[in-house]
Chains A and B, each alone.
Chain A
Amino acid sequence: MPTVTIDGQQIGVPEGTTIIQAAEMLDIHIPRYCYHPGLSIAGSCRMCLVQVEKTPKLQIACYTPVSEGMAVHTNTEQVVKARQAILEFLLLNHPVDCPVCDQAGECWLQEYYMEYGLYDSALLEDKVRKRKAVILGPHIVLDTERCILCSRCLRFCDEITKTHELGIFERGDRSEIWLYPGKVLDNKYCGNVADICPVGSLTDRDFRFICRVWYLEDVNSICPCCSTGCNIIVDYNLKRPHAAKGRRLMRLRPRYNPEVNKWWMCDEGRYGFKFVDASDRILDPARKENDKLKPIPWEEALGRVARAIRALVDEGRQEQIGIITSRWSTNEELYMARRLFVEQLGVKGLDHRVPGNIVGQDDGFLIRADKSPNSKGAELIAVHHPEGMDATQIVQAASQGKIKLLYVLHHDLAEAFGNKLIQKVSQNTELLVYQGTNFNQTSDQADVVLPAAAWPEKEGTFTNYAGRVQKINEAFAPPGRAWPDGKIFVELASRLGAPFRYICAEDIFREMADRVEPFKGMSYSSLGLTGSLVSSQGE
């Protein structure tokens, strides 16, 4: 284990650690463009030059392994001068079209220029012009003028997705990133190249020009598009509501979690948030009147549902109540559903196993066939009654009139079972309640519709396929009069005479961690940024 001294601070690091990694451990930031911890080392940008004692020339920190007794200086006059010269070289043919560049504000050229550049350009000739605004595929636009040839994007396509779409063509100042003949940048992870591009060369077509990055606010969350549970950052814009026709959620970015997704996320998840700001969001509680939904106050909607449930429970007809919970709900919401309906009201017909969540196959990297974020959580919390019916049986029973009240959370049953069956359910039940975020064929058939919050609008946890409990956070409030599921349950419970004493999601989680074996000992603070695994004693 060699010991290295960087800027006077000593640290012992494992054999083979590079200077840049050792510096990171000491919280010393060495400027870099081509170095990315998730990719191989290119050493092409030369921005990370540092001075190593007893070597005559500056060394690149990203590729020089530390050795015993090495002394490194990252801020000497020679290093600072070299950085300035490298920046001048990298920016030589850069168009400096920051006003129209989407990267402006989070561009490493801008950041390092302000920190280490600040030179006067000595270029007397015209800059080399190259191709601009080239569409490389469904998600990515390329500007070859802005490129500094760090090769991060092509290393990503070579090493992570192994699809080899991109290469560097031509020589000298005419070199440019381009697609290999016949290729299109359309692999399932191609959105990542826009994230790792340190300059504005590769930009995201979905995010392009809709919002300046400095308008964005962010919150940590978990991708809900499959059971992998990739850690993400939600970038949203509330300050400029006129941008992008009022769309609040602007983009998702992967967040580093070594146990789950490392630095990456798939495009399915990255662009799978459109329903959140879609025009078909349910904004008001409503009841069906002459085949049309009429907005009503929450009081009335909840009262109607609670009275119907109460009536059946009081008459001891619990078997005529069916509840379809959802794998898209958080652990907290699932636990509340179990508490309220199973434990307190004695409902047996409660299940989440609606078919249709398996699409395609696991790809061995991040994409999993199970498209619901919380299947594992639903299983562990045992939302379904062991002797009870499963979701398919519940819906069948409802269509035959054996279930008088069907309460559906989030699932579009029409999609899973066919519209005909749901029409039959609607006719043969006394009350069909739909609680969800967007209108669909099931909500069209419902007698009462309750507007629910989507995942960026609430707090809670998801349990991924491997049993990792990870936290989602509220980015913005639900639209219209929608409420988070948790609040709807609390209000409903108090009207059913079994009030919950929860004030926030953390209260629910605390109680759940107490009472549900796999979650024992967990708390929001113990989950931290990377989440923690459920205990496997129960399995």
Chain B
Amino acid sequence: MAADKGLTFWQRLYLPEIIKGMALTGSHFFINLLLLSLRLIGIRLKGKGPVTIRYPEERRELAPRLRSLHRLTRREDGSPRCVACMMCETVCPAYCIYIVAAEHADPDIEKYPIRFDIDLGVCVFCGYCVEACPVDAIRMDSGSLDFATYSREDMIYKLDDLLKIEPARAKG
């Protein structure tokens, strides 16, 4: 057989190679078992042990500039900072933001959104909305990356949903 070509006699014996392989895998297994057991009691050897993390119990540290799930920031009274200027809606290359504005009772605020939907099923996470916002009302710093849903409708985040999302970590 073609695949056997180039194999030495020793390799063709089959069993010794299998045992060698098992020994290698086994040694990793037992060493990792030992290292993880040590981690459990607080001993962490630098540069040693498995590099995978145990998602979802354990999370990777996120880069500070990572673009994650959008959120809308709030004024001190909890109302949205957004003034419905439609800059994000305009700049959005995926056309996934839908804003409807209304007249605010306070003439110094003047305009506010009564509808602010982001269709995350369409969003490309480019972050242009955040850059376009003149009042820092939309941010992508929630740190949330796992918002898969079972339906397309659930991918549409409404004004109230977006206002409830908190930033990943409190600003120091």
Kindly provide the distance from the CB of B36 to the nearest chain A CB, expressed in whole angstroms: 52
Kindly provide the distance from the CB of A208 to the nearest chain B CB, expressed in whole angstroms: 7
Q: Mark B88-131, 1 if CB is under 8 A from A, else 0.
A: 01100000001011110001111100010000000000000000
Instruction: Judge whether A94 is part of the interface by a CB distance below 8 angstroms.
Output: no
Task: Tell whether, in the assembled complex, residue B90 and residue A100 are in contact, meaning their CB atoms are under 8 Å apart.
Answer: no
Question: Do A100 and B110 contact each other (CB < 8 Å), given the known contacts A209-B84, A212-B86, A240-B89?
Answer: yes
Report A55-109 residues with CB < 8 Å from chain B CB. 97-100, 104
- Chain A: interface residue total (CB-CB under 8 A): 19
Tell me which residues across on chain B come within 8 A of A133, comparing CB atoms: 103, 107, 110
The complex places the Cα of A498 from the Cα of B37 at a distance, in Å, of 94
Task: Tell whether, in the assembled complex, residue A132 and residue B102 are in contact, meaning their CB atoms are under 8 Å apart.
Answer: no
The complex places the Cα of A240 from the Cα of B115 at a distance, in Å, of 14
Task: Tell whether, in the assembled complex, residue B90 and residue A214 are in contact, meaning their CB atoms are under 8 Å apart.
Answer: yes
Q: Mark B56-99, 1 if CB is under 8 A from A, else 0.
A: 00000000000000000000000000011111011000000010
Kindly provide the distance from the CB of A242 to the nearest chain B CB, expressed in whole angstroms: 5
The complex places the Cα of A244 from the Cα of B85 at a distance, in Å, of 15
Q: Mark A208-238, 1 if CB is under 8 A from B, else 0.
A: 1110101100000000000000000000000
Tell me which residues across on chain A come within 8 A of B16, comparing CB atoms: none
Tell me which residues across on chain B come within 8 A of A134, comparing CB atoms: 107
Question: Do A209 and B111 contact each other (CB < 8 Å), given the known contacts A99-B134, A242-B100, A243-B100?
Answer: yes
Question: Do A242 and B135 contact each other (CB < 8 Å), given the known contacts A99-B85, A209-B111, A212-B90?
Answer: no
The complex places the Cα of A212 from the Cα of B97 at a distance, in Å, of 14
- Chain B: interface residue total (CB-CB under 8 A): 20
Interface of A is mostly: loop
Kindly provide the distance from the CB of B118 to the nearest chain A CB, expressed in whole angstroms: 13
The complex places the Cα of A240 from the Cα of B96 at a distance, in Å, of 11
Name B114's closest neighbour in chain A (CB-CB): A209
Task: Tell whether, in the assembled complex, residue B100 and residue A100 are in contact, meaning their CB atoms are under 8 Å apart.
Answer: no
Name A244's closest neighbour in chain B (CB-CB): B100
Tell me which residues across on chain A come within 8 A of B84, comparing CB atoms: 100, 209
Tell me which residues across on chain A come within 8 A of B134, comparing CB atoms: 98-99
Most chain B CB within 10 A, of A104, A209, A215, is at A209
The complex places the Cα of A133 from the Cα of B85 at a distance, in Å, of 16
The complex places the Cα of A210 from the Cα of B102 at a distance, in Å, of 8
The complex places the Cα of A134 from the Cα of B109 at a distance, in Å, of 13
The complex places the Cα of A209 from the Cα of B101 at a distance, in Å, of 6
The complex places the Cα of A104 from the Cα of B101 at a distance, in Å, of 15
Kindly provide the distance from the CB of B33 to the nearest chain A CB, expressed in whole angstroms: 57
Rank and list the top 7 A-B pairs by shortest CB-CB distance, nearest first. A99-B85, A133-B107, A132-B107, A100-B111, A209-B101, A242-B98, A100-B110
By a beta-carbon cutoff of 8 Å, the part of chain A in contact with chain B is 97-100, 104, 131-134, 208-210, 212, 214-215, 240, 242-244
By a beta-carbon cutoff of 8 Å, the part of chain B in contact with chain A is 83-87, 89-90, 98, 100-103, 107-111, 115, 134-135
Q: Can you show 13 pairs from A to B with CB atoms below 8 A apart?
A: A97-B110, A99-B135, A100-B83, A100-B85, A100-B109, A133-B107, A134-B107, A209-B84, A209-B103, A212-B90, A215-B90, A240-B89, A244-B100
